[in-house]
Structure 1
Amino acid sequence: MTATLFALTFAVAAPFWALMILLPHWSWTTRVISSPLIALPGLVIYAMLVIPALDDVLPAVLSPTLNGVRELLGTADGAAAAWAHMIAFDLFAGRWAWLDSRERGVPALVMAPVLVLTILLGPLGLAAYLGVRTRWVGPAAVPAPRPQRLG
């Protein structure tokens, strides 16, 4: 069961990544990616792996130590749960970056490698996008007007 859930984790996320990278201008891409629920399949898989193992997981996360986390992740269930965790959060971060990039007018050809980096090495992809987004100013980056004083 664990091996199946592990394999299923990326399979349920891949279509969303494909839409953002390969079909960024398709109207259905915006409709689908606009929903934060795209992360739900990965979150459900994570819950299926973690909830039955809460007795092992809670001590490792409530009072983390390197050895405790290593021991937890060194099991098939722990590795599969960590993978589902990463896939769900990377997808959520990629979704945010993609939506923000559309508002700012960041070209799809610039975003494609950033999204691939986010798939492969999540936090580095997010860091890359935070760097990229400073070059494009769209409605999301325009500050609200300051109130004027009367008198």
Structure 2
Amino acid sequence: MTAVDPQLLFSLTFPVAAPFWALMILAPRWSVTRRVVGSPLIVVPPLLGYAALVLPDLAGFLAAVSSPQLAGVAVLLGTPVGAAAGWAHFIAFDLFVGRWIHLDARERGIHPLVTAPVLVLTILLAPLGLLAHLVLRTLLPSRREVAQPA
């Protein structure tokens, strides 16, 4: 049994990540955004929530993921602790992917108005946001390619 309230951690997980998303979407060129989002440590707040949920029942989580079966994972995720841990996992990894998309887009010179909807899609459905960015980075020439003579 977990020592923390899964409802509380579930409720806090996205709000602790939201300021980083706001910086990337609303102020992508601001020096503060560059400094804050430049650190991979922005994912630590949701990771701490994940750890607080998983570590008290580490044996149960390891049993479900070390030899995954759909039924076992469904049972785990069907509990308040499992669902809250899954949510924290999504939020942390979505933020990590969003951070990479933001940094990659800046490096490639992709306009923030093109990247912003991709980041929103990443917040909502991260694999589709990542796919959208990978398509964009394939279709749009990077700043490095444009700067180099043919």
- Is residue 2:52 matched to residue 1:48? yes
Shift of 1:133: 1.0
Aligned with residue 126 of structure 1, among 127, 130, 147: 130
Shift of 1:107: 0.4
Task: Count the aligned residue pairs.
Answer: 141
Aligned with residue 108 of structure 1, among 109, 112, 115: 112
Seq. identity, %:
63
Shift of 1:106: 0.3
Matching residue of 2:101: 97
Name the amino acid aligned to 2:143: G
Q: How high is the TM-score relative to the length of structure 1? A: 0.90
Shift of 1:138: 2.7
Per-residue CA shift, 1:35-64, capped at 9, x if unaligned? 000000111110000001112111110000
Name the amino acid aligned to 1:19: L
Distance of 2:49 and 2:143 partners within structure 1: 36
Distance of 1:109 and 1:55 partners within structure 2: 45
CA RMSD of aligned residues (A): 1.2
1:12-51 alignment, distance < 5 Å: 12-51=16-55
1:60-99 alignment, distance < 5 Å: 60-99=64-103
- Structure 2: which 5+ residue stretches go unaligned? none
Per-residue CA shift, 1:99-151, capped at 9, x if unaligned? 01001000000001000000000111001000111213134x79xxxxxxxxx
- Is residue 2:139 matched to residue 1:138? no
